[in-house]
Structure 1
Amino acid sequence: MDPALGPPEEMAEKRDELTPMMAQYHDLCERYDDALVLFQVGDFYETFCGAAERTARLLEVTLTSREDSTGEYPMTGIPIDNAESYIEELLEAGYRVAVADQVEEPGESSGVVERAVTRVITPGTLTEDELLAGDDNNFVAAVARDGEELALALLDVSTGDFLATSSTSSEAIADEVSRFDPAEAVVGPDAPMDVFPDDCMETPFDEAVFERERAAETVSAYFRNPDALLASDAEVRACGALLEYAEYARGSESEAEAEADDENENDRLEYITHLTRYDPREYLLLDAVALRSLELFEPRAVHGRDDATLVGVLDETSSALGGRKLRDWIRRPLLEPDRIEARLDAVEELQSAVREREALQELLKDVYDLERLIGRISRERANARDLRSLRDTLAVVPDVREQLEDADCDRLQRLHADLDPLADVRELIEDSIVEDPPIEITEGGIIAEGYDENLDDLRQTARDGKQWIDDLEERERERTGIDSLKVGYNSVHGYYIEVTNPNLDSVPGDYQRRQTLKNSERFVTPELKEREDEIVGAEERADELEYELFREVRKTIADEVERVQDLADALATVDALVSLATVAAQYDYCRPALLERSDGVEIDIEGGRHPVVERTQESFVPNDAQFADGRRLAVITGPNMSGKSTYMRQVAQIVLLAQVGSFVPAKSARLTPVDRIFTRVGASDDIAGGRSTFMVEMDELATILREADGRSLVLLDEVGRGTSTADGLAIAQAMAEHIHDEIGATTLFATHHHPLTEVADELEDAFTLHFEVDQEDGEVVFHHEVAPGAATGSYGVEVATAAGVPEPVVERSRELVAEAGDEQSTDKSEPPAATTTDAAPTTADGGERTVDEQSAPSETVDLPSDVAAELRTLEVAHMTPVEALSELDRLKRLLEEERES
């Protein structure tokens, strides 16, 4: 544990001697010992002792000190008004933050002001708009194990989105984690943490929340019959634990409330009203590798443009609601043709209905983030401006419904019916909340005139009193003859009559001295004091009544949480569909034709374009793609920069877009929905994980060999580049043969290993493609056009020249290429030893090496004895490349299990 967390040692040693305030701080640190406690003192959040020193360094603020009867303590404070920016820095530094607010006014307590942790802020439990990205969900996850089964639960605490799934495969759970990219994870006993990426914060939490009975009881408090809603005990455990963690992060208003909640279990988050249990196989599966390779949400280039992603070019949404909905569709493309066609019908109708589409786009710009608004309202953290934002959104709904009133397709007709204007909620807010309310909800000025008769009477009393005060100055000047007499007010002394020193002899006898200043005296009369009590009393009672009325209004709206969430979902869907239609209209996308699902995959794309590249380049060359029975594996050759990788990705992205329910960048497209997209594209290493570029490549290939099938789309780019030419060619050829013969996946295989084109000629369902280039005046000209057959060369030296490699290096490269060509023409009858001989490797003097010598590494590696023993017995020279890959994958898993145990 970080020494800055938990109760400070110097306080713990003398806990009984601490002042009441410091004892409060100590106890809160002890209770929230995994978080940095921000302790409200007036207008600042303070930290003390080691926490203060760490906070001062991290936030670059001044370290001060506090001294009391028990000693002197380091102290660091941040202003409450600007706390979010500092909290964001603490979260980025890896801290959880427990915010301890004053939960009573200083004047209400005879002793120390009560404080309580009102929220625990972690990367996965953010609810503050300032800390959240409005266009995407922010999930916290929980993983639970029950026997062989693993369950994953995901919750967006800010919106109430709640999902659950399970599998016996940790790889499948890791794939789902990649889809949703949670910011934080709560991991149950015996559940693996390695399904989460390194940047996901692991949060230790009470393991008892994962117990089956307790978890079932927690889930039952939110949803009826969790056993029917969820598919397994593991899912119940994960969901129950996650709900308890969300309740813990909510905090409480006071210690008394916290104790009551322990007894009455009153911590329920009312806005979590839906739990979606899903099977990953209901959607097109995309693992972490595919998400990165296809650049769905993040560009691969370190300094890539923010819009250089698939979501970047598709997102023309007008609201945060629509942006999140569109991202969810891209994250989980559909498999069921009827559902895809329903979206396509809506997109087509909106594309052609230009006037209605543009009107909807303008209307939706006035839609606030209803999901997060109702979340704040339900958590009792919404202010009066939030309620007005809800009202402003509801005012848009009738106009949105009007634009959809004449819709033809079923999907838009259902959305028209689902757009509940919530007229009663809108009317309540209009009647109760002033049009431009202040931010504070305890200082009055938020409840509209005419809403409550008692409030109106109090306000009138205060107004009448103030008018009497306004007239008092003129009356007293006439009565006393003192022309300079003034009537004023301050928050300390209240109302007063001020007379300058030269006029003190004219002061009437009923004036009572209230305050002496350097050049004047301030007085009060019995009548003024009576009016003051009346005015101040009326204002205080009015403020208190306004706060009570506001809370009643807010609670009434919170009771309609499900209606608001249903409306939010409908508006989000309209916005996402309008976005897809807008992109289709502006960038000449076509409606894809879906073919019936069968054992195989058919793809027929005419004039296909890469949706991202065409938007980021001045010009783009469209290309066709045809895959069907007899054409399942394309071996693609051509020089670097000719367009091989772009072509492969555009085929995958067009397929993915079609299954999202979007039109696609092509002249025409006919395709069968695929179950999964696999990619092995680009070179990358995993230095932190101790994996080289080649090992990363082999891991990804092993996954494809293990999990792909005839309904998969596979992209392979430069397989075998991380090892010797002979080994690389052998692996590439074995991969091509195995996918063709055993898996049957639709595959695009880009390579610089030109002998693979000869292999393709021998495989029944394989064919070759290449990208054409010309040489003009010694320079390579890329046409970016795909054509049948194999490329005549790789043009690597020419590409190096175009990249600006110095001329001496280029010339020497040409010489070496020429020499290599001469040698190959002389020895072309002799095949590479690595791919044709089963002879055992030899030593430098020609002797045959032993098994131990063959497997001995150049550096000492400390392997577990059983793994080392298996390595020694492997006869790699007698294995096919695919068998070697399988053994490598098996031994890697065995090694990981050894390390975990």
Structure 2
Amino acid sequence: MAYTPMIQQYLKVKADYKDAFLFFRLGDFYEMFFEDALKASKELEIALTARDGGVKEKIPMCGVPYHAAKQYIKVLIEKGYKVAICEQVEDPKTAKGVVKREVIQVITPGTIMDDQSLKPKQNNYLGSITQTDARQIGFVVSDLTTGEIRVTLLQDFNSLRQEILTYGIKELIVAPDEDQNLTRDLDLDVTLSYENNVAVPTSLEYLIEPLSQSVLKETVSRLLNYLIRTQKRSLDHLQKAEHYYVNDTMLLDSNSKRNLELTQTIRDHKTYGSLVWLLDETKTAMGGRKLKQWIEKPLLNQDEIEERLSCVEALIKHFFERDAIREALDNVYDMERLVGRVSFGNVNPRELVQLKRSLHEIPVLKDILKNVDEQSLKTLGEKMDSCQEVYELIQRAITDEPPLSTTEGNMIRDGYNETLDQYRHVSRNGKQWISELERKERETTGIKSLKIGYNKVFGYYIEVTKANIKYLPDGLYERKQTLANAERYITPELKEKERLILEAESNQMDLEYTLFSELRLKVKTYTSRLQKLAKFISHLDVLQSFAVVSEANRYVRPQFSHDRTLKIEECRHPVIEKVMKNNEFVANDVVMEEECHILLITGPNMGGKSTFMRQTALCAIMAQIGCFVPATQATLPIFDQIFTRIGATDDLVSGQSTFMMEMLEAQYALTHATQDSLILLDEIGRGTSTYDGIALAQAIVEHIHHHISCKTLFSTHYHELTFLDQTLPNLINVHVQAVEENGHVVFLHKVKRGQADKSYGIHVAELAGLPHSLLDRATTILADLEEKKPEKIMDENQHELTSNDDVNEEAAISIEQSQVEEESEQLNFFPDQTTSKPKNQSYSKREEDVIQTLKNLELMMMTPMDAMNQLFLLQKKLK
């Protein structure tokens, strides 16, 4: 038994779109069958039904209403699925057999064009890659909503991963033979799509003209062919591919962006509390997207940075002009996406009016910028193309308050088209004629309740109640419909007028849609000019945003050093300062002269070490995106990269502990950092045993000092490391101050030169509310650890264990046995040998100094680590 013709049609279409849900149009519903139905019913939480498909068993089926489909599609896309929209492409009234259906568009995570599914101030990027035999990777990123295309050549998968994360790519296009485990290898949640055709589409050859490398051309062509295959419509708004180089901007790996909370917070992944939230005083959606792009890729070119800073400074000085700019930008809509929708063919009349209103503000902006005494801003104003022709075209054609739909009519102005005006005249006058006919018929027949009505089935009619039918003249009225209490009639005169009115209304609708389509095509010819204008507006919007934020928060213009001096006076954390009340934030100086490479930061938990480190990095980023910085004075080098390891995070899914994450992030920084980088390392080595941690921490500091020599902020609770300033000339100790008052710790949050005397960990535990008995015991153990030999502490602690009621005797014996076994397996630290000299051999002056120093050591007053350090120094002198 074969499937029904309709199900056969469905299966034929589905065969070409196996990786997508097929929304199959049947009447007022989009239906799904078979596996699509089973999966969609769960994902969308809709009822699963079944229907007869011509075979013995019924076919699984579910559907969504046509008018509500956008919301269901949005849910599927957000979950990483694709949706193929299959519509009827012929009139059912004229169709022979099954109505012809075709897929008119495939909606994917990277090709969304519906505003309901897009975030105004975030791009929706689609990526494409091509791998070469030389292990290079061609990488292309594009936002279909704005038409931008950016390309670069990457050297390894790690760089690819970082770029994918930077752009927030939702979908990645690869060759069909590409390993399907690619997303797993990249450790990313990205939808993979496949495209084999890399031939350059003839109509879009101009897009790859700027590219010279074949791998980049191939990668762009892969993306273009995928878009042509899935979108099935004009792509004229796509812009020429822009070749960028990763090393042209500051490199910020994903860990650093997360740790510094540049675009979202670590805890809840929200914008509130991030740097982009703080700096976002933009007035337009495209300005908001530009701001995010600048933050994620700070500049390295000092001239470009200084140009932005000069513009911000000028806008701060010109308060009234800046206020006028903000007022004008308030009336500017998202021109980038509006232009994209014009080209894409899904723009509606209201959106064209939004484009017109946006263009109305351009002459205003140009006039304002003429009065600002900063050449870059004047030049920006001069470059703005008012596109007056587009404004006048829309103004002439579209009414001020048009409907949302293109099929409702009443969107084209009177006077724009003569034929349309004639149709409207007939329609409007015809309705007036109907009203006049109703009045006349009442007078002629004397029936005051007589009325003329209209419905879509019967058209116009004269309705008379049955009690009044006897008053109608004979022969003139033709019965059309019988009701319970009335009869409906038509007359030859009314019938002729009905034909003229309905024909005019129908023609009017069709003509309005035709005129709107022609207008859209005319506007599309200005795509390139409008896109350039949108870029200038978004650029200005971000600059005015920086000016507003800088003035409101008392930021200063940064200076840049060429001798790698880092000096920030009264530096503040911009976000924490903003969310704190009553201006309670404590500012600190960050001073690292040319010869200072490393600040070793000690101090208590909750004292502000991490904040001190983060605010330094944020100041550097803000300076290099062209914004003023939170300080009273700031001189910084231009950093090529920033690496951070701040806070403890497990990656449980991949089975990586906090300590492993520490080591991986440290390894990445040490491998990729240069002399011009900034490294922030917070509490490295805390995830393992004390001696392991100290050894690793010290080795990392020494490696940075000897082999990288970049600016580094290294915070630690290992006070044993503070002696390094004696052996590492480019390291300086600083500490976060805290004082004890009446047994309680007071955090001063002030960073001073020198080392901290203690960590105040027990005091922090007290603030957390741990039991007092526990805190007392911890205080006792701490005193023992600081004052007694390790052997004695171990013995006493073991005695505590054996005398404790909660620990049985067998456990105590087990502990003793394990300690004996451990001691028997312990290797000697030094080989047995005679260390004394023959009697007839005298000591040198240096050896005598070492012996005297050794005699003077107060070993009972030293910690084990202090003793080891002293031994190391003495041995170094002898060598």
Question: Structure 2 residue aligned with 1:90, among 70, 76, 80?
Answer: 76
User: Relative to structure 1, is the Cα distance of residues 205 and 590 closer, same or farther in structure 2, using a 3 angstrom cutoff?
Assistant: same
Offset at 1:245? 2.1
Q: Pairwise CA RMSD of aligned residues?
A: 2.3
Offset at 1:121? 1.9
Offset at 1:110? 5.3
Instruction: Report the Cα distance in structure 1 between the residues aligned to 2:519 and 2:820, rounded to whole angstroms.
Output: 86
User: Relative to structure 1, is the Cα distance of residues 678 and 195 closer, same or farther in structure 2, using a 3 angstrom cutoff?
Assistant: farther
TM score, norm. by length of structure 1: 0.85
Q: Which letter maps to 2:148?
A: D
Q: Is the 1:184–1:200 Cα contact (8 Å) retained in structure 2?
A: no
Offset at 1:847? 5.0
**1:656 aligns to 2:621 (yes or no):** yes
Question: Structure 1 residue aligned with 2:735, among 765, 770, 783?
Answer: 770
Q: Which letter maps to 2:766?
A: T
Question: Structure 1 residue aligned with 2:106, among 113, 116, 120?
Answer: 120
Q: How does 1:333-372 map to 2 (within 5 A)?
A: 333-372=298-337
Offset at 1:229? 2.3
Q: How far does the alpha carbon of each residue in 1:215-264 deviate from its partner, in whole angstroms, 9 at most, with x for none?
A: xx23x6434383x62353332222221222222331x4xxxxxxxxxxxx
Question: Structure 1 residue aligned with 2:191, among 194, 199, 202?
Answer: 202
Question: Structure 2 residue aligned with 1:785, among 750, 771, 776?
Answer: 750
Range moving further from structure 2, 753-762 or 602-611: 753-762
Range moving further from structure 2, 440-449 or 768-777: 440-449
Q: Secondary structure at the match of 1:612?
A: helix
Offset at 1:530? 1.5
Q: Which letter maps to 2:317?
A: S
Offset at 1:788? 0.3
Q: How far does the alpha carbon of each residue in 1:617-641 deviate from its partner, in whole angstroms, 9 at most, with x for none?
A: 2210111112232211110000111
Q: Which letter maps to 1:125?
A: T
Structure 1 equivalent of residue 856 of structure 2:
none
Q: How far does the alpha carbon of each residue in 1:711-760 deviate from its partner, in whole angstroms, 9 at most, with x for none?
A: 10000101111111111111100000010001111100000111111113
Question: Structure 1 residue aligned with 2:570, among 594, 599, 607?
Answer: 607
User: Relative to structure 1, is the Cα distance of residues 551 and 196 closer, same or farther in structure 2, using a 3 angstrom cutoff?
Assistant: farther
Q: How far does the alpha carbon of each residue in 1:566-618 deviate from its partner, in whole angstroms, 9 at most, with x for none?
A: 1111111111111000001100000001223xxx6221111110111111222
User: Relative to structure 1, is the Cα distance of residues 225 and 379 closer, same or farther in structure 2, using a 3 angstrom cutoff?
Assistant: closer
Instruction: Report the Cα distance in structure 2 between the residues aligned to 1:139 and 1:132, rounded to whole angstroms.
Output: 11
Offset at 1:807? 1.2
Instruction: Report the Cα distance in structure 1 between the residues aligned to 2:364 and 2:619, rounded to whole angstroms.
Output: 34
Q: How far does the alpha carbon of each residue in 1:676-724 deviate from its partner, in whole angstroms, 9 at most, with x for none?
A: 0011111112112121211111111111121111010000101111111
Structure 1 equivalent of residue 117 of structure 2:
131
| Structure number with bigger Rg | 2
User: Relative to structure 1, is the Cα distance of residues 312 and 225 closer, same or farther in structure 2, using a 3 angstrom cutoff?
Assistant: closer
**1:283 aligns to 2:249 (yes or no):** yes
**1:728 aligns to 2:687 (yes or no):** no
User: Relative to structure 1, is the Cα distance of residues 628 and 827 closer, same or farther in structure 2, using a 3 angstrom cutoff?
Assistant: farther
User: Relative to structure 1, is the Cα distance of residues 205 and 135 closer, same or farther in structure 2, using a 3 angstrom cutoff?
Assistant: same
Instruction: Report the Cα distance in structure 2 between the residues aligned to 1:202 and 1:405, rounded to whole angstroms.
Output: 48
Structure 1 equivalent of residue 864 of structure 2:
none
User: Relative to structure 1, is the Cα distance of residues 469 and 190 closer, same or farther in structure 2, using a 3 angstrom cutoff?
Assistant: closer
Structure 1 equivalent of residue 289 of structure 2:
324
Q: How far does the alpha carbon of each residue in 1:639-679 deviate from its partner, in whole angstroms, 9 at most, with x for none?
A: 11100000001011101100000000000101111100011
Instruction: Report the Cα distance in structure 2 between the residues aligned to 1:751 and 1:479, rounded to whole angstroms.
Output: 103
User: Relative to structure 1, is the Cα distance of residues 229 and 176 closer, same or farther in structure 2, using a 3 angstrom cutoff?
Assistant: same
- In structure 1, the gaps of 5 or more residues are 1-12, 253-266, 829-840, 850-901
Range moving further from structure 2, 75-84 or 279-288: 75-84
Q: Secondary structure at the match of 1:224?
A: helix
Structure 2 equivalent of residue 159 of structure 1:
146
Q: Is the 2:207–2:241 Cα contact (8 Å) retained in structure 1?
A: no
User: Relative to structure 1, is the Cα distance of residues 735 and 69 closer, same or farther in structure 2, using a 3 angstrom cutoff?
Assistant: closer
Q: How does 1:482-501 map to 2 (within 5 A)?
A: 482-501=447-466
Question: Structure 1 residue aligned with 2:61, among 75, 91, 97?
Answer: 75
Q: Which letter maps to 1:58?
A: E
Q: Is the 1:779–1:802 Cα contact (8 Å) retained in structure 2?
A: no
Q: Which letter maps to 1:601?
A: R
Q: Secondary structure at the match of 2:84?
A: strand
> Number of residue pairs matched?
795
Offset at 1:196? 7.9
Instruction: Report the Cα distance in structure 2 between the residues aligned to 1:132 and 1:554, rounded to whole angstroms.
Output: 23
Q: Secondary structure at the match of 1:604?
A: strand
Q: How does 1:795-810 map to 2 (within 5 A)?
A: 795-810=760-775
Structure 2 equivalent of residue 47 of structure 1:
32
Q: Is the 1:462–1:535 Cα contact (8 Å) retained in structure 2?
A: yes
Structure 2 equivalent of residue 373 of structure 1:
338
Q: Is the 1:141–1:152 Cα contact (8 Å) retained in structure 2?
A: yes
Q: Is the 2:234–2:344 Cα contact (8 Å) retained in structure 1?
A: no
Q: Secondary structure at the match of 1:428?
A: helix
User: Relative to structure 1, is the Cα distance of residues 842 and 128 closer, same or farther in structure 2, using a 3 angstrom cutoff?
Assistant: farther
Q: Secondary structure at the match of 1:528?
A: helix
Instruction: Report the Cα distance in structure 2 between the residues aligned to 1:845 and 1:612, rounded to whole angstroms.
Output: 53
Structure 1 equivalent of residue 165 of structure 2:
178
Structure 1 equivalent of residue 815 of structure 2:
none
Structure 2 equivalent of residue 561 of structure 1:
527
User: Relative to structure 1, is the Cα distance of residues 842 and 454 closer, same or farther in structure 2, using a 3 angstrom cutoff?
Assistant: farther
Question: Structure 2 residue aligned with 1:846, among 818, 824, 848?
Answer: 824
Offset at 1:103? 4.0
User: Relative to structure 1, is the Cα distance of residues 39 and 641 closer, same or farther in structure 2, using a 3 angstrom cutoff?
Assistant: same
Instruction: Report the Cα distance in structure 2 between the residues aligned to 1:108 and 1:423, rounded to whole angstroms.
Output: 45
Structure 2 equivalent of residue 224 of structure 1:
206
Structure 1 equivalent of residue 361 of structure 2:
396
Structure 2 equivalent of residue 867 of structure 1:
none
Offset at 1:278? 0.4
**1:193 aligns to 2:199 (yes or no):** no
Q: Secondary structure at the match of 1:404?
A: helix
Structure 1 equivalent of residue 850 of structure 2:
none
Q: How does 1:680-695 map to 2 (within 5 A)?
A: 680-695=645-660
Q: Is the 1:142–1:153 Cα contact (8 Å) retained in structure 2?
A: yes
User: Relative to structure 1, is the Cα distance of residues 197 and 479 closer, same or farther in structure 2, using a 3 angstrom cutoff?
Assistant: farther
Q: Secondary structure at the match of 2:386?
A: coil
Instruction: Report the Cα distance in structure 1 between the residues aligned to 2:42 and 2:401, rounded to whole angstroms.
Output: 40
Instruction: Report the Cα distance in structure 2 between the residues aligned to 1:652 and 1:231, rounded to whole angstroms.
Output: 37
- In structure 2, the gaps of 5 or more residues are 794-818, 828-879
Instruction: Report the Cα distance in structure 2 between the residues aligned to 1:155 and 1:43, rounded to whole angstroms.
Output: 35
Instruction: Report the Cα distance in structure 1 between the residues aligned to 2:561 and 2:203, rounded to whole angstroms.
Output: 45
Structure 2 equivalent of residue 876 of structure 1:
none
Q: Secondary structure at the match of 1:203?
A: strand
TM score, norm. by length of structure 2: 0.87
Q: Which letter maps to 2:228?
A: E
Instruction: Report the Cα distance in structure 1 between the residues aligned to 2:54 and 2:468, rounded to whole angstroms.
Output: 50
Structure 2 equivalent of residue 256 of structure 1:
none
Instruction: Report the Cα distance in structure 2 between the residues aligned to 1:554 and 1:60, rounded to whole angstroms.
Output: 39
Offset at 1:417? 1.2
Q: Is the 1:100–1:115 Cα contact (8 Å) retained in structure 2?
A: yes
Instruction: Report the Cα distance in structure 2 between the residues aligned to 1:419 and 1:105, rounded to whole angstroms.
Output: 47
User: Relative to structure 1, is the Cα distance of residues 657 and 691 closer, same or farther in structure 2, using a 3 angstrom cutoff?
Assistant: same
**1:56 aligns to 2:41 (yes or no):** yes
Instruction: Report the Cα distance in structure 1 between the residues aligned to 2:212 and 2:698, rounded to whole angstroms.
Output: 43
Structure 2 equivalent of residue 527 of structure 1:
493
Offset at 1:107? 4.5
Q: How far does the alpha carbon of each residue in 1:21-53 deviate from its partner, in whole angstroms, 9 at most, with x for none?
A: x34332332221111112233333222344334
Structure 2 equivalent of residue 816 of structure 1:
781
User: Relative to structure 1, is the Cα distance of residues 374 and 104 closer, same or farther in structure 2, using a 3 angstrom cutoff?
Assistant: farther
User: Relative to structure 1, is the Cα distance of residues 757 and 827 closer, same or farther in structure 2, using a 3 angstrom cutoff?
Assistant: farther
Q: Is the 2:566–2:591 Cα contact (8 Å) retained in structure 1?
A: yes
Instruction: Report the Cα distance in structure 2 between the residues aligned to 1:104 and 1:640, rounded to whole angstroms.
Output: 72
Offset at 1:350? 0.4
Offset at 1:133? 0.7
